[in-house]
Chains A and B, each alone.
Chain A
Amino acid sequence: MSPSVLRTAPRQVDGLKWDINSLIDGIPLYKLLYGGRIPTFRSSADLASALIVDKSYFARGFPSNWMTPRLHAALTARQVEFATTSGTTSDRMQVIRKKDWWQDEYRRTYRYNPRMVDFEVGTDHKALLTTAICSNTVCYLEQAPYDDRILNNALYLNTTADPNQWRKSDLERMCGEIARFQPIYIDADPAYLTLFLHLCAVHGVTVPYPLPRYITLSYEMTTQFCRRYIQARWPVPTYDLYGATEIGYLYLQADDGTLTRSRDLSLVELAPYNVEHDLYYLIVTSVKNEYMPLIRYRIGDLVKVPGGRDHIAAKSSHDDVPIAYFCGRAGDVRRAKSGRPITAGDVDHALSPATDQVLLYQITVLADDEIVFRYVPVSDQELSRGDRETLTQCLVDIFGSPCHIRFTRERAIAPEISGKFATLK
């Protein structure tokens, strides 16, 4: 998608804490974007004159589009590290940043949660349970030994490409490693942690004690089913943590469930996607990565902001606007018969009160009035007739009638190429 001007400018009148113009000075991508006439950004209100840019634009022409003498010098001095966002060739993005950039980002972010503020990044033990990292420099796939998977006192637990394939021995290994490493904090992909706890129960593998002091759920949208399942088995404070490789973190949940903006070096705007249904694009200006500052980046995710119009009008900054929940990718939005947008987040919030017997699910809209609800049940049973009826009613309410819902119970739902699980396809 090409850059576009956002019509409704955020009402932000404060002075910017960072000098955007000097940060983007000399970066070819911005010169190209503005044809050499880069606006002056003195206050955040000035950002309204900047173009909104999608990932495909930022990803294009890497690295020359970002090359400045400063970056060149840092590269030559080997002061940088590389990363790639998940996705296939057409939507992945290469990122170059200062070495150990995440360590700083963790420090910046954890401060926003009173419980996590004490976590000593790099010293205290943290374990990660998500897709197995595999690049040319590190590969945690297959039999990477325990010691090799500890980086800055963070232990990477998973060594399998598809968590559905975890065998009893994998679960025992991971539990053994948790017991040995004693992380006080676990950062997990919600679907992976759900499967981990579920499969441990199925295979009779004892999950180690003491439990971590807290958990963050990151990497993909947390479904309410996963959250409930995790909380029931691991009753420790569990926080959603929202971020991405190219921007770092933007939101961290608090004990009362509200999402706190971790505001350092970034500024969020909520751009209307569908105001009537309180859906907004998340747009971020992030200067956390000095070599790749992203000005008005449309991440592609949607958020639910109840009463969004009024909130946005009342607050001086969109950073202060309370977000109810994340709705997933704009690209995954479906339409109800009425034309109303259906997001993964909305579906999830509508379905979760219906039953607690669903572990993972995936909804496929086959034709206008034919929907398949694939699910992995919590117990070894099919969903009861009552549960199916309630779910059917929820889905009909969402998609509109007539609508035929087919339930199929699955042993496993395969992750996407990125390793993440799609709930709405």
Chain B
Amino acid sequence: MMQTRLSGPTIAANVDPAERQSKPLTTSVRGDFPLLIRESTTGRPSVYLDNAATTLKPQPVIDAISAYYREYTSNVGRANHQFAEIVNAKFESCRENVASFMGAKKREVIFTSGCTDSINLASMLLNLERDDEVVVSILEHHSNYLPWQSRARVKTVLTDGTGVIDLDRLRDAITPRTRLVALTYLSNVTGNVQPVREAIRIARERGVLVFIDAAQAMGHFPVDVTELGCDFLAFSAHKMLGPTGVGVLYIREDLHRHLRPVRYGGGMVSNIKHGAVTYRDGPAMFEAGTPNIEGILAFGAAVSYIQRLGLPAIAQRLNELEQYGWKQLSQFEELIFPFPRHADHAAIFTFRPRSETCDLSFLVQILSDTYGIALNQGYQCSQPLYEWRGVRGAIRTSLYFYNTFSEIDQLVDGLRELRPFFA
């Protein structure tokens, strides 16, 4: 697909001159994101720092959606007319591409409507019983807590002093009744990367299956499911440049034969004769009905975009933003960072004013309306963690590779000016 490059003076203006020399990645990509070069209503450049909620979309992703509507609308896997041929080929090549992106086999990639949907689907497939135990960490997003809690007994493992899951406690939490360990790879609140490799090893030694919620990790650094050795892994396309309404559930291939479909509909059977049903194997068995075709094609475009930039380069850029962000934000004595910052920490900073009475929503509104900065405020769907730490909500700033040092500075300037509001 042709990649449209929108470039203009705004881009240059948004990028720190020092960075322009040393960080080719950022400068070269900003023009691809229409929202980054749009004129803002505040008179200042728009700064998008709510990437952990969803990322912005580059032009090739937008183009992929509209190309499906404009050039080759068709259902997938159900016809062989001209458009269908194009769509079938593109669709399966997306699956191939996504599989290779995450170190999986094509057959192991199941398309869903998002990370939450993937987790729910897995929880149904596992056929859990009330007395079964699922071990999670205190860091889980409600999406990786509620689906398990609604079907089984959930045991929550706390973090250690450095902000990651306490592996000794994890070891202790596993009992003969444990069916699954379900962990986040990267906390959407604290930004700490979890020691999932070790956790997977511990669980496997005890013969327990492992589910990884990689919503925040995918597209941020290389993730290879085969190397990790997990049994399930889930993520959403929209948190890595793709559209909403698309997600992936990875299921290790040798588990497929132990699982029965839980959703039924078109596209999943090879034949029905005299009422006897033979299901197709591979992902089709789990993907009943017409999928979100245009979304998946656009997701493919997002993956290609990331691959072109290279995950190591993205990871390095995020690391630089993390270092700079921490240096700048941690200067504020009036702010507290309620969760420890681990050595392996993503560019996600969650903080709140020391003052208990400060109205966070008002603060975030001013930062948006006056300073043009989009942030997140509240509990980020992780109330157990907040409750445990006794914290009444916080402001979260989360960066992606297209963010710049000067955008962090813009946030810092805003906070500085708003000091009287939270000091």
Contact = CB atoms under 8 A, between A and B. Distances in A.
Interface of A: 59-64, 67, 72, 75-76, 78, 82, 84, 89-90, 92, 94, 135-137
Nearest to A65: B370
A63 B418 CA distance: 8
A137 B365 CA distance: 14
A82 B362 CA distance: 7
A61 B370 contact: yes
A63 B369 CA distance: 11
B56 to A, nearest CB: 17
A60 B369 CA distance: 8
A135 B359 CA distance: 8
B100 to A, nearest CB: 40
Contact of B43 (A60, A67, A90): A60
Output the residue of B360, B368, B369 with the most chain A CB within 10 A: B369
Interface in B365-380: 365-366, 368-370, 377
Contacts of A75: 420-421
Contacts of A82: 359, 362
B361 A63 contact: no
A323 B251 CA distance: 70
B325 interface: no
B393 interface: yes
B48 to A, nearest CB: 13
Interface residues of B, number: 20
Contacts of A60: 42-43, 370
A94 B365 CA distance: 8
A94 B43 contact: no
Given A92-B369, A94-B362, 7 more contacts: A60-B42, A63-B421, A84-B362, A136-B359, A136-B361, A136-B362, A136-B393
Contacts of B361: 135-136
A300 B393 CA distance: 36
Contacts of A89: 41, 368-369
A90 B366 contact: no
A72 B377 CA distance: 25
A89 B364 CA distance: 12
Contacts of A63: 366, 370, 417-418, 420-421
B423 interface: yes
A59 B359 contact: no
A62 B369 contact: yes
B412 to A, nearest CB: 15
21 contacts: A59-B369, A60-B43, A61-B370, A62-B366, A62-B369, A63-B366, A63-B370, A63-B421, A76-B420, A78-B357, A84-B362, A84-B365, A92-B369, A94-B362, A94-B366, A135-B359, A135-B361, A136-B359, A136-B377, A137-B357, A137-B359
Output the residue of B42, B365, B377, B418 with the most chain A CB within 10 A: B365
Output the residue of B361, B362, B366, B418 with the most chain A CB within 10 A: B362
A100 B277 CA distance: 69
Contacts of A61: 370
B108 to A, nearest CB: 40
Interface of B: 41-43, 357, 359-362, 365-366, 368-370, 377, 393, 417-418, 420-421, 423
B360 A136 contact: yes
A60 B43 CA distance: 9
A90 B42 CA distance: 9
A235 B264 CA distance: 57
Contacts of B393: 136
A95 to B, nearest CB: 10
Closest CB pairs A-B (n = 3)? A136-B361, A75-B420, A82-B362
A230 B232 CA distance: 58
A242 B417 CA distance: 34
A94 B359 CA distance: 13
A60 to B, nearest CB: 7
Nearest to B44: A61
A286 to B, nearest CB: 21
B398 to A, nearest CB: 19
Contacts of A72: 420
A202 B350 CA distance: 48
Contacts of B417: 63-64
Contacts of B420: 63, 67, 72, 75-76
Contacts of B360: 136
A90 B365 CA distance: 12
A94 B362 CA distance: 8
Nearest to A136: B361
Given A64-B417, A76-B420, A135 B362 contact: yes
Contact of B41 (A64, A78, A90): A90
A75 B423 CA distance: 9
Contacts of B366: 62-63, 94
Contacts of B368: 89
B335 to A, nearest CB: 16
A61 B371 CA distance: 8
Nearest to B363: A136
Contact of B423 (A59, A76, A136): A76
A78 B366 CA distance: 18
A137 B357 CA distance: 8
Contacts of B421: 63, 75
A135 B393 CA distance: 12
B375 to A, nearest CB: 13
Nearest to B358: A136
A137 B355 CA distance: 13
B31 to A, nearest CB: 24
Contacts of B370: 60-64, 94
Contacts of A135: 359, 361-362
Nearest to A78: B357
A92 to B, nearest CB: 7
Contacts of B369: 59, 62, 89, 92, 94
Contacts of A64: 370, 417
Nearest to B377: A136
Contacts of B362: 82, 84, 94, 135-136
Nearest to B369: A89
A137 B378 CA distance: 11
Output the residue of A62, A64, A76, A136 with the most chain B CB within 10 A: A136
B159 to A, nearest CB: 26
Contacts of B357: 78, 137
Nearest to B372: A89
A82 B363 CA distance: 10
A137 B356 CA distance: 10
A64 B377 CA distance: 22
Contacts of B359: 82, 135-137
Nearest to B393: A136
A254 B368 CA distance: 41
A92 B366 CA distance: 10
A139 B380 CA distance: 17
Contacts of A59: 369
Nearest to A61: B370
A82 B420 CA distance: 13
Nearest to A138: B359
Nearest to A73: B420
B310 to A, nearest CB: 35
A135 B360 CA distance: 9
